[in-house]
Amino acid sequence: MPSVPSINTADRERLLADYPQVFHRSFWQRYGLAVGAGIVAVYLIICFFAFNVGPTFMQGRWDRASLYVQDWYSWRAQPRLRFEEDGTVRAQWSSRGQYPADANISWLQPTAAGGYAVTYGNDDDRLDVTPSLVQVYLGGTAYPVTITVDAATAPEGAPSAITQDGNKVLVDYGFEGQAEIRTGQVYVQRRFIGWANFLFDTKSEFWGRTYGELLVLATFGERIDPDRSNFGHMVDDFLGNNVWQHSDILSKLMQTLVMAFVGTLFGTLVAFPLAFIAARNITPNRAANWFMKRCFDFLRSIDMLIWALFFTRSFGPGPIPGIAAIFFTDSGALGKVYAEALENVDDKQREGVKSVGASPAVVNRFGVVPQVLPVFISQSLYFWESNIRSATVIGAVGAGGIGLKLLEAMGTNADWDKVAYMVLLILLVVFLFDNISNAIRSRLIGQAAH
């Protein structure tokens, strides 16, 4: 192992004298990182207690959050088994209508006694429902729940999956579903993986067909409707799906994209000439520079969401408030970015054009614009990509687009699968336009570098 060379006292003193900044660092140079980390830690501790982070997490309804997450990738059939006065049970369905009225449902079968048998996964987990008694089967063992005028009563010694909640009984079958047994009805929730009737609703002639059957019908099958092809028929039924509302959702998504594009385009067109006034090296007038920069500060300091609320109150709900909100915010932000780019241009090109006696407009056209145009377009493309996401948010406050549709689906508290569908559409569109924007920016920056 080689030995480390040592220095004598004279060399040490010489180094100390020549490089004092290296050997005699200030307090902040030596301990600044530790002090900063300590300040951040103290700040986080204060926030933890000031915002009641601990109690909030403890009081959170995590069971409800788990159900919402399950609703994103699965669907629930929710029939109400109502007890009739004649001693029979009648199945009543929710408005989403996952099955046709005359459908033969394998897990919900009528019994000879006038009731219903509800199967959860297998025959060992099921409900046998009659107006006076509900037999709850868990793992093949029966637990009778008696029903009177006043209450539904769970049996003694029932497992934890069967709980008494006031005058009703709750039965939990895990992911397969739940049941709520009351005095006048049994509220059944049966869960399945996937999204129910995503392609076609129950009114469509293609409902219930396998993917193979649909492929044959779309390519070689005999026409169901003589006036149009089966494929066109499928597209019409898909877009006209009353449950999923594909046509409305896709039109709202396009509306969001148009809002982002038009708002960014208008902001670019306005910020471009005003940035020349704000740039000190282009417009040698301090008052004009100061006034224009303060205008940019005002426009961008007010959040896009606030602008959207303001314009929604002024013009009513729709895409116009969204476009105006994006336009105002981007005019200020792009104006500031453009002005800074102009103030950093190479003056040699300007002087070269000016030396031949060109007017100020021509000097800016041929001496300034070629230098900054790739930067301007690159920034506008980035803002356009960002505004696609922002347009979704401002749409939720009434500015139209898919954001408003998303808020409506969340408000029902029962359409979380539809929420997942719209979120996936937004992610797909953002991913697509992000890649397009990055590709265009890379080409522009590469061309500018050469």
For residues 282-292, average pLDDT: 88
Share of the chain above pLDDT 70, in %: 93
Average pLDDT over the chain, rounded to whole?
85
Please indicate, yes or no, whether residues 43 and 82 belong to a single structural domain of this protein: no
Q: How far apart are CA 369 and CA 276, in angstroms?
A: 10
- The 10s digit of each residue's pLDDT in 135-149 is 999 988 899 999 888
The β-bridge partners of 163 are 170
- pLDDT for the residue 182: 92
> In the chain, count of helices (H) and strands (E)?
16, 13
Task: Name the CA radius of gyration of the chain, rounded.
Answer: 34
- pLDDT for the residue 94: 74
Please indicate, yes or no, whether residues 274 and 399 belong to a single structural domain of this protein: yes
Please indicate, yes or no, whether residues 158 and 255 belong to a single structural domain of this protein: no
- pLDDT for the residue 6: 65
Flag whether 237 is in a domain.
no
Please indicate, yes or no, whether residues 96 and 35 belong to a single structural domain of this protein: no
Please indicate, yes or no, whether residues 351 and 281 belong to a single structural domain of this protein: yes
pTM of the model: 0.77
44 has pLDDT over 90: yes
Are residues 171 and 125 in contact, defined by beta-carbon separation less than 8 angstroms? no
Helix, strand, coil percent values for the chain (each to nearest 5): 55, 15, 30
354 has pLDDT over 90: no
Flag whether 440 is in a domain.
yes
Instruction: Spell out a b/e string for 101-111, using b for 16 or more CB atoms within 10 Å of the CB, else e.
Output: eeeebebbeee
Give 302: exposed, middle or buried? Use CB within 10 Å, 0-12, 13-18, 19+: middle
- pLDDT for the residue 4: 54
Question: What is the CB neighbour count within 10 angstroms for residue 231?
Answer: 13
- pLDDT for the residue 403: 85
Confidence label for 22 from pLDDT (cuts 50, 70 and 90): low
- The 10s digit of each residue's pLDDT in 173-211 is 988 989 999 988 999 999 999 888 889 888 888 888 888
Flag whether 442 is in a domain.
yes
- pLDDT for the residue 269: 94
Task: Quote the number of domains for the chain.
Answer: 3
Please indicate, yes or no, whether residues 93 and 179 belong to a single structural domain of this protein: yes
Give the helix/strand (H/E) hosting 108. strand 108-110
| Dihedral over alpha carbons 274, 278, 283, 286 (to 10 degrees) | 140
For 337, the 3-state DSSP assignment is: helix
Q: How far apart are CA 175 and CA 372, in angstroms?
A: 58
- pLDDT for the residue 449: 46
CATH number of the domain at 290, please.
Answer: 1.10.3720.10
Please indicate, yes or no, whether residues 296 and 358 belong to a single structural domain of this protein: yes
Please indicate, yes or no, whether residues 285 and 380 belong to a single structural domain of this protein: yes
Q: Give the rounded distance of the alpha carbon of 182 from its chain centre.
A: 38
Please indicate, yes or no, whether residues 103 and 167 belong to a single structural domain of this protein: yes
For residues 23-47, average pLDDT: 85
In one-letter notation, the amino acid at residue 189 is Q
448 has pLDDT over 60: no
- pLDDT for the residue 329: 93
- pLDDT for the residue 179: 92
- pLDDT for the residue 391: 87
Tokens for 340?
């800074």
Higher pLDDT, 447 or 278: 278
Higher pLDDT, 4 or 446: 446
Flag whether 255 is in a domain.
yes
Confidence label for 450 from pLDDT (cuts 50, 70 and 90): very low
Domain extent, residue 46, equals: 9-50
- The 10s digit of each residue's pLDDT in 372-412 is 888 888 888 889 888 888 888 888 777 778 888 888 888 77
Please indicate, yes or no, whether residues 101 and 147 belong to a single structural domain of this protein: yes
For residues 5-14, average pLDDT: 70
Please indicate, yes or no, whether residues 272 and 352 belong to a single structural domain of this protein: yes
How long, in residues, is the chain? 450
- pLDDT for the residue 7: 67
Residues 6+ apart with CB under 8 A from 194: 73, 74, 75
- The 10s digit of each residue's pLDDT in 295-349 is 999 998 888 888 888 888 888 888 888 899 999 999 999 999 999 888 888 777 7
Residues 6+ apart with CB under 8 A from 440: 377, 381
